[in-house]
Structure 1
Amino acid sequence: MTNVLVTGASTGIGRSIALMLAEHGMTVYAGVRKTEDGDELTEAAVGILKPVRLDVTSGADIERTLKTIADDGGLGALVNNAGVYIGGPLELMRDEDIDATFQVNVLGLLRLTRACLPMLRQSRGRIVNISSISGLVALPGVSVYAGSKHAVEAITDSLRVELSPFGVTVIAVEPGSIQTEIWRKGAERDDARQSESKEVRDLYTPLVSLLEKLNENPRGIPPERVAEVVRKALMDDNPDNRYIVGTDAKSLSFLRWLPDSLRDGAIRRKVWKS
C-alpha cells in the first residue's frame, strides 16, 4: 500500500484528491492548516486518511510531517496541490499578494519536494504537481498567478529528467476553471483592493469586470474530475508527462501554438473590445 502526501487538502481539489486516493487503497497523509479541517476529512474518508498539520511555507511543519511519514514506512508519492490564487492587474497588486503567491505556489513546492526526495528515491515514487492552464497560456489580469504556475511547469520539466535515473516520475496536471473556493478567496482579495486604488482601478475596468464575472460564476469542472486524473497519474503503469483537464483548458492550450501577434490580438479583442 502506497503512502502519499497531498498538500492543501482542506478544500477544493486537494480535498477531493485526498478522499479519492484513500478510497482507492492508498494511505493518505492529508496536509491541512486547521485541526477541524483534518477532523472533517477523517470523518468523510473511506479508507486510511491521516491529517497532518502542514503549511508548505513552514520548515518546521515540513520536517515534522516527513518524520511522521518516515516512521510509518516512507513515502511513495507526493501531490503538490497547495496553492494561492490572487488575480488582478499587476498595477493593483500589493507586495503581500505577490509574496504570498510565490511563497506557496513556488517556494513551498520546491522546499517540500526537496525534503521528500530521499524517501521518493528509495521508493522510486511519483511526484504530481498541480499546475494550471495558466502555466501554459498566460492571460491578462493574472500575471502573478500565471508567473507562479509557469514556474511550476519549468520545475516539473526540469525534475522529470533530473530524477529519471532514480526511477522518480514527475507529472504535471493542468486544470482550467475549477468549481472551488480558490476563486471566491481570490475575489475577496480583489474586493479588498477596490478602495485603495480606485483611480488606477478605473483604468482597468474592462479587465477587472471580466475577472469579477469569472470569480462570481466560474464555469468550471468539479474538483472530483481533477482528482480522478491525479489517481490515474499515480496508479497507471505508464502515466503521461502532463494532463490538461477541462474543455476550457484544452481550448486555451491551442493558443500556445499561435504566433504572438495573432494570440495577443485575439485576447486583446476579448478583453478590451478593440
Structure 2
Amino acid sequence: MPSALQGKVALITGASSGIGEATARALAAEGAAVAIAARRVDRLRALGEELTAAGTKVHVLELDVADQQAVDEAVRSTVEALGGIDILVNNAGVMLLGPVEDADTSDWHRMIETNLLGLMYMTRAALPHLLRSRGTVVQMSSIAGRVVVRNAAVYQATKFGVNAFSETLRQEVTERGVRVVVIEPGTTDTELRGHITHAPTKAAYEERISKMRKLQSEDIAEAVRYAVTAPPHATVHEIFIRPTDQV
C-alpha cells in the first residue's frame, strides 16, 4: 500500500527540535519529501542525514521566520529543490513568559515577530503554491490561544492572534481547496519553556508542571499527521490536545 503522503512536499519551520523535528519524521514516514527550516542549521543537517538515510528527499533551510526576505527565499528554494509545496507546518515559536509590569519589551517584540508575524510571512509566501496544489497549512497555536493565565499576556496575545488569522484565512481559501489546520497543544515536554528569562515566572511555571505527565513532541506530530492525511474533502480544522493531568 502506498504511503499517504507519497509525492507530497512538506515545509516545516522550527524543525531543529521538539514538535517540528518530530513532525518532520512523521510526515517523512508517510512518504513526503520534507523541507526542514530553523536557525540551528547544524541540528537540521543531522536530522536531514537521518531522514535521507531512510529514503526521504530532504531540503535543509537555515531560516529566521521573522525575516520576511529570508522567508520568501526559503519558499522559493523549497519549490526549486522539491518541486512545490503541498503542506506548510508553521511551527517556529518562542515562549517568553513574564508579567506586564516592568516587562522587557524586547521579549514582546521577539514573540510577536516570531510567533505571529513569522507565521503570517510564511503563510503569505507559501499560499500561491498551496493554492496550486490544493494543499494544507498547519498553524501551531497553543492552549494559550484558548485559556488565559497570569504572566503570559503577550505570548497569549500571539496565540490568540494565530487563531484569528487562521480562521480568517480558512474563510478566504477553503472554497479554493486549501485546508487550514490549527493545532493547540497543552503542556508539552520541549525546549520551549527554556526560553523563559523572567526567573520568578520560570520557577513558578516549572513548579506548576513538575508533577504533570506532559505531552511529548510525538503526540503533537501524530495530530499533524492525522490532519494532513485526512481525505481532501475533509478539513480537520482544529485539534486541541492537552495532558490528561492538565486542568
TM over 0.5: yes
Q: Does 1:240 align with 2:240?
A: no
Provide, for residues 214-235 of structure 1, a one-character-per-residue CA deviation record: whole Å limited to 9, x for no partner. Answer: 4767642110000010011111
Q: Structure 1 vs Structure 2: percent identity of aligned residues?
A: 32
Query: What is the SS of the residue equivalent to 1:89?
Result: coil
Residues 134-188 of structure 1, C-alpha deviations (whole Å, 9 max, x = no match): 10111111111111000001011111111112111101000000000011222xx
Given that residues 12 and 89 in structure 2 are in contact (C-alpha distance below 8 angstroms), is that contact kept between their aligned partners in structure 1? yes
In 1: Cα distance, 2:24 partner to 2:10 partner: 9
How far apart are 1:90 and its partner, in Å? 1.2
What is the total number of aligned residue pairs between the two structures? Answer: 235
> 1:212-251 counterparts in 2 under 5 A?
212-214=206-208, 219-237=213-231, 238-248=234-244
1:29-44 correspondence to structure 2 within 5 Å: 29-44=35-50
Alpha-carbon separation, structure 2, partners of 1:215 and 1:51: 34
Distance 2:141 2:88 in 1: 14
Give, as a single letter, the amino acid of the residue that structure 1 aligns with 2:190: T
1:211-264: per-residue Cα shift (whole Å, max 9, x none)?
A: 242476764211000001001111111242100112359x65xxxxxxxxxxxx
* Aligned pair partner of 2:58 in 49, 64, 70: 49
Matches within 5 A, 1:67-86: 67-71=76-80, 72-86=82-96
Checking the alignment, whether the CA contact within 8 Å between 1:87 and 1:211 is kept in structure 2 is no
Residue identity matched to 1:21: L
Q: What does residue 123 of structure 2 align with?
A: 113
Q: Is 2:214–2:243's contact at 8 Å kept on the other side of the alignment?
A: no
1:151 equivalent in structure 2: 161
Query: Contact between 1:184 and 1:216, CA under 8 Å: does it hold in 2?
Result: no
Structure 2's unaligned 5+ residue stretches are: 1-6
Distance 1:135 1:33 in 2: 25
Separation of aligned partners in 2, 1:61 and 1:216: 38
Secondary structure, in 3 states, of the residue corresponding to 2:110?
helix
* Contact 1:3–1:77 under 8 Å retained in 2: yes
Deviations 1:11-40 (A, max 9, x none): 111111111111210011000213311211
- The answer on 1:11 being equivalent to 2:17 is yes
Indicate the structure (1 or 2) with the bigger Cα radius of gyration: 1
- More moved, 56-65 vs 115-124: 56-65
**Contact preservation (8 Å) 2:141, 2:184:** yes
1:48: how far off? 2.6
Give TM-score, length-normalised by structure 1: 0.80
Whole-angstrom distance in 1 between the partners of 2:90 and 2:187: 18
The two structures have a TM-score, normalised by structure 2, of 0.89
Cα distance in 2, alignment partners of residues 118 and 133 from structure 1: 30
SS at structure 1 position matched to 2:64 = coil
The answer for unaligned runs of 5 or more in structure 1 is 195-206, 253-274
The one-character-per-residue Cα deviations of 1:71-105 (angstroms, maximum 9, x if unpaired) are 23111110000001011111142110000000000
Q: Deviations over 1:191-212 (max 9, x none)?
A: 3xx7xxxxxxxxxxxx775324
Q: Which moved more, 1:235-244 or 1:210-219?
A: 210-219
State how far apart, in whole Å, the 2-side matches of 1:10 and 1:214 are.
27
Give the 3-state SS of the residue equivalent to 1:174 in structure 2. Answer: strand
Separation (CA, whole Å) in 2 of partners of 1:4 and 1:123 = 12
